[in-house]
Amino acid sequence: MRISFFNAPLYLALKRHTSCIRFTPQGIIKDASPPFLEAMGYQLDDIKGKHHRIFCDEQEVSSAEYQQFWHSLAAGDSRQGRFCRVRANGEEVWLEATYVPIRNFRGHVTEILKVANDVTQRHQESQRQKAVLKALNDSMAVIEFTPQGEILEANKNFEAAMGYQQKDIIGQHHRMFCPPDFYRNNPDFWERLAQGDFTKGRFERITKNGQSIWLEATYNPVKDEDGNVTEVVKFAADITQLVDKANATTGTIGSAQTSTSQIERTAKDSLDHLDEMVKGSEQAAQTLAQAQELVEALHKQSQSIHAITTSIAKIASQTNLLSLNAAVEAARAGEQGRGFAVVANEVRQLAKGSSEAVAQISQVLKDNSNLVERTTEAMQQVIQQSKAGQSRVSEIDAIVNKILHDAQDVARSIEQLAADTRL
C-alpha cells in the first residue's frame, strides 16, 4: 500500500509551519495551510474547490501567459519567482513562491504544491528604492566603479556631461576624468571609498574635449550582506554655470569690498577733518567772544572818559567865565588892575584851549564809540555765522557718520555674501 505524500509527516509539518497550498493540475484548490490562509485573509471553506484565479487580478487571468502557466505546471514544469496576488479584502500581496508538480508512481502529475513566503514589505521597499534610483538616473549623471576605481557603467546623463560614450570608458580608471592635481591632493581617495567612507563635494573634472566641468557629486560605497564594498556609485550634477556665476560674483564682491573700504577710509578721513574744523571753529568762537568782551570793556572806558571830558568842559567854561569877570574887574581897577588883567586873559586863553581840546577829545570819543558799536555789531554777526557754521559742520559730521555706518553695514553684508558664495 502506497502512502500519499500529502498524508506523510513531512507534508503535515510543512503545512503546519509554512504557507502552502495544493491544487489539481488544472488549478482547482484542494487544501491550504493555516499560515497561507492567514496571509491571504481566507478560511479554507471560502476557497476549497475554487480556481487559483481568485488570487489574481482580471488582467493576469485573461492573459495568454496565465493559461500557459497552468499548462506548463500540468506538464510537470515547476515555476518559481515573485508573484503579485490579491487578498480577500482586495489588497495586493507579493509572494516569493515555488510551484512544484507532484507525480504519482506512473509519473503523471496529480497535484500542484505551492510553497510561498509573503515578501510584500520587502517588495514595496525594493520598488521604492527602484523608483528613487530611476529618478536619480533620469535626473542626474550616474557612474558605477569597482572599489578600486575602474569604470563599470555610466548612464546617458553622464555620457552627455562628459562627452564620452560608454564603450570609451568601460574598464578605464576614474583618473581619466581628473585634473593632474586631484590625485596629488587625494592620494588615498579610492582606499577610503573601498573602506566604506562616503564622499561628497564639488569636484572639478575634465571632459573628453579637455574643458573643465564642475560636478556636485556623491561617491556612495555599496556593500554586500557581509559588509564588504562591492562597488561605488557616483551621483553627480553639472554645476559649471553655477560655479562660473559664483566666480563672477566673487569678482564683483571683491570690487565692491574694495570700493566699500575706500568709502570707509574717505568717511573716516572726512570725520577727522570735520573734527579739526569743529575744534578750529570752537576756538575761533571763543576768541571772538573774548574780543567782544574786550570791545565792550573799551566801550565802557570810552563812556567813562567822555564823562570826565564833560566835567573838564564844564570847569573850562566856568574858568573862562571867571576870567572874563576878572578882566572886567581889572579894567575897573585901572592901572592897579593891569597885571591882573593880563593874568585873567591868559587864564581865559587856557580855558579856551581846554574847551577846544575837550571838544576834540569828545569828537574822538564819539567816533570811537561809533566804531565800537559797529565793531560789536560786526562781531555779533561773525559769532552768529560761526555758530551757524558749527551747526552745519555738526550736521555734515552726522551725515558722514551715517555714511560710515552704512558703508560698514554694506561691508558686513558683502562679507556674508562672499561666505555664502564660497559655500
CB 74 within 8 A of CB 26: yes
What average pLDDT does this structure show over 373-381?
73
Please tell me which residue, 395 or 108, carries the higher pLDDT value: 108
Clarify whether residues 288 and 409 are in a common domain. yes
Clarify whether residues 260 and 400 are in a common domain. yes
The one-letter amino acid code at 1 reads M
SS3 category, 384? helix
Q: Does residue 336 lie in a domain region?
A: yes
What average pLDDT does this structure show over 308-325?
71
> Can you give the pTM of this predicted structure?
0.51
**Containing domain of residue 280, as a range?**
252-422
Q: How far apart are CA 208 and CA 314, in angstroms?
A: 122
For residue 310, the domain's CATH number is 1.10.287.950
Nearest to 373 by CA among 295, 285, 303, 308: 295
Would you state the pLDDT for residue 339?
66
Beta-carbon contacts of residue 246 (< 8 Å; ≥ 6 apart): 421, 422
- Residues 122-142 pLDDT 10s: 999 999 989 988 998 999 999
Q: Does residue 133 lie in a domain region?
A: no
Clarify whether residues 291 and 417 are in a common domain. yes
- Residues 228-283 pLDDT 10s: 999 999 999 999 999 888 777 666 666 666 766 777 677 677 667 667 766 766 67
Q: How far apart are CA 87 and CA 317, in angstroms?
A: 147
Clarify whether residues 219 and 268 are in a common domain. no
For 149, the grid coordinates are 576605481
Would you state the pLDDT for residue 292?
67
Q: How confident is the model at residue 81 (pLDDT cuts 50, 70, 90)?
A: very high
Clarify whether residues 345 and 402 are in a common domain. yes
Clarify whether residues 307 and 362 are in a common domain. yes
- DSSP code string of 268-291: HHHHHHHHHHHHHHHHHHHHHHHH
Q: Does residue 226 lie in a domain region?
A: yes
Q: Does residue 52 lie in a domain region?
A: yes
Clarify whether residues 230 and 372 are in a common domain. no
Q: How many domains does the chain have?
A: 3
Clarify whether residues 232 and 94 are in a common domain. no
Give, to the nearest 10 degrees, the angle between helix 240-333 and helix 338-422.
Answer: 170
Q: Does residue 131 lie in a domain region?
A: no
Lowest mean pLDDT among 20-34, 128-142, 170-184, 283-297: 283-297
Clarify whether residues 207 and 92 are in a common domain. no
What average pLDDT does this structure show over 37-48?
96
Q: Does residue 124 lie in a domain region?
A: no
